Amino acid sequence: MSEHKKVYDEIFTLLERHDDWMSKTINLIASENVSSPAVRSAIVSDFRDRYAEGWPGERVYAGCKYIDEVEIICMKLAKKLYKAEFADVRPISGVVANLMMYSAAMAPGERMMALSIAHGGHISHARANLGGTAGQIRGHKVQNWVFDEKEFNIDVDASIGKIRKLQEKGDEVKFLLFGGSVFPFPHPVKEFREIADEYGMTIGYDSAHVSGLIASGRFQDPLREGADMVTLSTHKTLFGPQHGVVLSRSEFADKIKRAAFPGMMSNHHLHNVAGLAVAFAEMMEFGKDYTGQILKNSKALAQALHERGFHVIAEHKGFTESHTILVDITETPLKDGSVVEQTLEDANIIINRNLLPWDKKRGRDYKTPGGIRLGTSETTRLGMKESEMDAIAEFIHRVVMKEEDVKKVAADVAQFKRDYQKVHYAFDNETDAYAHLRFR
């Protein structure tokens, strides 16, 4: 066999192993989900090999008549789901959507407010010295929201005070950014509309994690609460392919379009636009039930962990109002987020380690954080309900608290997972969620 054929075969062996492993695991990564067989069908269509630069009807490429129709449907569904005046479905990811939003809101180098990473902000919101997208790529100066650790949310009065001080010093703030990657409670958007109008600031909202919840009216409604622009990742609580969207009021449309093309993208991954259109249709039909169950499941998982002695953040607020819960694991026998992450992975349970707001003070950093972040999107999509959340909490308890043999727990998790191989909340689900598809 040629060397090349060997490596070619090896790639497929690895892909098959991954798919098989996923079918045996419980995935609690808050930023992931599983897309339907219908979305998978759309993203392997011939669209994957084509170009369609520009806007439907004004393309720079030929051969786009069906691509245009699908993209127009995708935009229409996005506008309807989010009650938005304008939707650009071209950004190929949430970070690219954020870059488009920054371009439409500010000149390079101008100042913005965003959540710090320790408080749940995303690296695409961060300043240059952290390698953050806003600072490194666009030169934005980033000031952080004042955060109330107990309420686990932005401190409105202290943050308004901080903005006024900056303005008085002549350090003008141009853009207020809400949203984050640890996002258990809605952010105070409407509380900042007045000061934004007073100083002529634009308000942005990064809904990456909660895009599916917002589409179903289950979280907050940033466009009604005063946000000028909203960015989506389409593959977290929204169960589409990996892609992005920018929504806005009409007055920002031209700037956003220019940022997409010719600014940011030549190719905008047309197969994923098709897959996203399919996912939007699924959300319209099943979104309300699906996201309702996500919220029940995250509360149930938090409660079940709490009852087993875990320190779940924000107990006095009911733990969470989204798909995400945050757990301080420093008082468990494993003590460290990285160790918990690795040990759970060995037991077929996939989670993220996560910084806690007070970790820095305890001398911890992102490599050895005191927390773990859990999300219920994927388990919910597979049809799990509150009783399954209790079973999952028990598996976690056996690994992290009782330090049982991970091989034994891994086998039990794989056995448990056998009953959850279909994608729910979908028009079609004949193909199993993790089936390895062969076209060769």
Ligand X SMILES: *Cc1c(COP(=O)(O)O)cnc(C)c1O
93 vs 103, beta carbon nearer ligand X? 93
Of the candidates 381, 281, 314, 264, the residue with the CA atom closest to the CA atom of residue 29: 381
Tell which positions 242-281 bind ligand X, by CB under 6 A.
244
Tell which positions 123-162 bind ligand X, by CB under 6 A.
124
How many other C-beta atoms can be found within 10 angstroms of the C-beta atom of residue 41?
15
Q: At what angle do helices 406-417 and 337-346 cross, to 10 degrees?
A: 60
- Minimal distance in Å, beta carbon 91 to ligand X? 8
122 vs 398, beta carbon nearer ligand X? 122
Binding-site member from 40, 59, 119, 122 for ligand X (CB under 6 A): 122
- Minimal distance in Å, beta carbon 235 to ligand X? 7
Give the separation between CA 181 and CA 227, rounded to whole angstroms: 18
Q: What are the structure tokens assigned to 259, written together?
A: 């940022």
Tell which positions 9-38 bind ligand X, by CB under 6 A.
31
Please give the single-letter amino acid code of residue 139: G
Binding-site member from 26, 43, 70, 95 for ligand X (CB under 6 A): 95
Binding-site member from 40, 127, 209, 381 for ligand X (CB under 6 A): 209
Binding-site member from 25, 33, 36, 93 for ligand X (CB under 6 A): 93
The closest residue (CB) to ligand X is: 94
369 binds ligand X (CB under 6 A): no
Give the separation between CA 440 and CA 437, rounded to whole angstroms: 9
181 vs 330, beta carbon nearer ligand X? 181
Binding-site member from 153, 163, 175, 206 for ligand X (CB under 6 A): 206
- Minimal distance in Å, beta carbon 373 to ligand X? 11
94 vs 357, beta carbon nearer ligand X? 94
Tell which positions 174-193 bind ligand X, by CB under 6 A.
179-181
179 vs 371, beta carbon nearer ligand X? 179
218 vs 323, beta carbon nearer ligand X? 323
How many other C-beta atoms can be found within 10 angstroms of the C-beta atom of residue 19?
15
Name the residues that contact ligand X, by CB under 6 A.
31, 93-95, 98, 122, 124, 179-181, 206, 208-209, 233, 244
